[in-house]
Structures are given as C-alpha cells and as structure tokens.
Amino acid sequence: MSIFDDDFYSTKVSRRTVRKSQQDDHRLSFGGSAERKWSNLRVAFISSFTSAVAAALLFGWIFGGFGGGGSVPVHLTATGDPSERTIVATAKVKPAVVSVINEQMFGLGIGGKRLENGDEGSGVLREAGVGSGVIIEKKAGRAFIVTNYHVVASAEKVKVVLTTGEVREARVVGMDQITDLAVLEIDAKGIDTVAEIGDSSALRAAEFVMAIGNPLGMGESITMGVVSVIKEVIPVSLNQNGVIDWEQEVIRVDAAINQGNSGGPLIDLNGRVVGINSMKISDFGVESIGYAIPINNAMPIVESLISKGYVPRPYLGVYTMDLEQYWEQQDMEKMFEEEEGGDSEKGESSGSGSIQLPDEVLSGVIVLEAVGPSKKAGLSFNDVIVKLDDHKVTSTMELRKYLYSKKKIGEDITVSFYRDGELQSLKLKLEEQAPEEE
C-alpha cells in the first residue's frame, strides 16, 4: 500500500484501468494505415528517450552548456534567495571597503618631549589602531573615504589598505567627534568601485543586513544579521569619562560588529550602504548587539566635512560641568575629609561657598570657563545656566542638543543663569563653531 490513498499518488494500477488500457491499445493506429499495436517495450523506449532529452536540456539550461568541450560561463545574478543575494551584494561593495591604520608617535624623550627622528630616544611612528572605511566618492583625482572619528583620532599619520593589499597614505579631510564620523582622501588612481549610498529610512525590522570590514587589507570580515531596531537613541560619553554629554541615533543590528569592522559599511541585500558601523557606540551594548550610524544622518555630516573640513554648528562658548556632577564631587570631598579626620565644617563651607543657589534649584550647568560669544556677553566662572530662551537646561547634553537642533548660527539666544544666588539673564549672538573650539 502506498503512502497516499488517492489514485493520483498511488504506485499501483487498478485492474479496471489495466483492462481499459488494453482495449484502447486495440483501437490505436499510426498514420491512419494498417492497425499496429504499440508494444510495452516500444512505449518504454520512447518514454525513456524523451525523458533523457528533457533532462539534458534542463541540465544545459541550468549550468550554461552541455558538458564536454567549452561551456558557457555562469554569471552570478541576484535572485529571491537571500543566500545568493548576500553574495552578490557583498561582491558589489567589497572593492570599495578599505582598512584604515592609525599611526601614532611612540618613544618620547625625557619629560615627554618629542625629539627629532634620528636622535637618540626619538619617537617612532607605530600602528596604534586599525579600523575600516568605505569609498563613497571620486572627484578630481581623489577618492573620499568615510570612517569613524575614533578610528583616526590622535593619529600622526593615517594609511589606507585597499582590498588588493596596496597601502596608500591618506589625508584627514575632516573629523566630527559629536557624530563619530571622519572623512579621508587618497589618490583615486586604479580605484574603480565606489559604494552606492542607500536609504536608511527605508529599512524595516527583521530585514537582512551585512557588516563589512577590511582589517589589514584582508577583506574577509563579513558578518550578517537582521535589523533589530530601526531607530534607537543611546547615550554617549564623548570624552570617555563616564559623563553622558550626547545622544546618538543609531540602527541596532544583531550582526556582530567585530574589531576591524568599525568605520566600515552596513549594507542591505542590494549592496547599498545604509549605515556606518561604530565600535565606539557598540561598547554600550552587549553580545550580539551592534550599532551603526544611519547613512541618512551621516551623509550631511560627510558632505560638510568634504566641503568645509568641519561641521558648522551654533557656538555658545562655554566649558561646563553638570550641577549634579558638582554636588557628587562635593559629597566625595566631604567624605574623604571626614575619613582623614579633617574639619568637616570647613569642607562644607568651602563647598557651599563657591556656588550659591536657592534650595529649589537642583539641576543646571556650571560655567567653568567662558570664551568667545559668552565671554563677550558677560558670562563668567561659576555662573549656573538653567535656561536657554524658554527651554529648561538640566545638563550639558541638553544644552548641546538645544543649540544644535533648535538654533542657527547668527541667531540671538537668551541665557538665564544664577550668580551669587540671584537669577539673571543676558542675550548674545551665536557664532560659528570652529574645529579647534569643539
């Protein structure tokens, strides 16, 4: 008995069917001439021959030829199969992915003074870190590469390794610490592939993406995953001191962002760049959670870095500390003085005497130094900023976010602050933030 009970799938033939087939055989004629019965052997031969020809044709269509001598080469094209699409997509962008080497000076002279190369004890350039980058534009004989700020930060010299293994010196066109982006340029000779920029706003949850890196020019760092969260905002400590002073919008993926992938592209199944992988941001995550900067957010920064060398932003001109952080420091100093048997009343008076505020004021931003427009307007050391225009400010992060998202260069802004326990305000004109003033 067969697996299936219905006649269509049965491997057995009923007696009724056999009898009907025999009757039909007597009625068969070939070309209308004398009646000739088709033997089982002849029918089997024709059926086998037809099947063999069909199989040969199908085999040749799939593999591009009929074996033997020359065969037609097979060209890889994307289909609906995700596994094939990943191969095509990575092959499309891979030649545009480079390795970025950060070289710094090691071996300084006595007292940290750097000596000239060739002198005894002089510093030498050595590799301090390796990341990745992606070529996004060729213009006027130069190729422009996007990478992370932290990949090239503090570099004395930057080198780029192509997928061919060729090493080229690179120039830093511009860097932006806020967004963790940087742009390099190299000689475009021999570079044929430029990555295609995609649309990160079109990404969907559970969509397949790939993180590509090129550590040391090996071109073998490819990880695959899906988009876990299309838009996520995570806290960032720009100076790596534990103080959260910025928030970054990122794409969360479960593709591993390994060492060497940082600064490389996150691509979709069409081989388009939809994000820039960031190891610095992924440090806030856990295993199997990676983060990438959305390409729609990155490209305006990249274009500004290429054209200006920096990102112009409204500049208030204050170096600050959060009031909450200040009180924590005061509490720790008081605790240490008590443990060492010091005068706690003196410590308390010294802490409270430096900044005077009403009891209801628990948050704000302390001015450590005023420069540029703030200094011109009259802000000074230990002023506590609590408002910008009508927007309440409780931290340096909020101050920066309000300036960068709500204000423009050249606009007026009203600053409300406490000085010696009294609420005051002043108006100033925001200037353009120069690179050295970031």
Enzyme catalytic residues: 150, 180, 262
For residue 233, the number of C-alpha atoms closer than 13 Å in the C-beta half-sphere is 4
Helices (H), 173-319: 279-282, 295-308
User: In what helix (H) or strand (E) does residue 100 lie, and over which residues does it extend?
Assistant: strand 97-106
Burial 98-132 (b: 16+ CB within 10 A, else e): bbbbbbbbeeeeeeeeeeeeeeeeebeeeeebbbb
The residue written with tokens 């609420």 in the block is 423
Query: 158 with 152: CB under 8 angstroms?
Result: yes
Q: Is the dihedral of CA 56, 59, 60, 61 positive or negative?
A: positive
- The widest CA-to-CA distance across the chain, in whole angstroms, is 129
- The rounded distance, in Å, linking the Cα atoms of 2 and 30 is 36
For 21, 343, 421, the CA distances from 356, given in Å and listed in that order, are: 109, 21, 5
What are the DSSP calls for 296-349, one per residue? HHHHHHHHHHHHHSS---EE--EEEEEHHHHHHHHHHHHHHHHHTT--HHHHHH
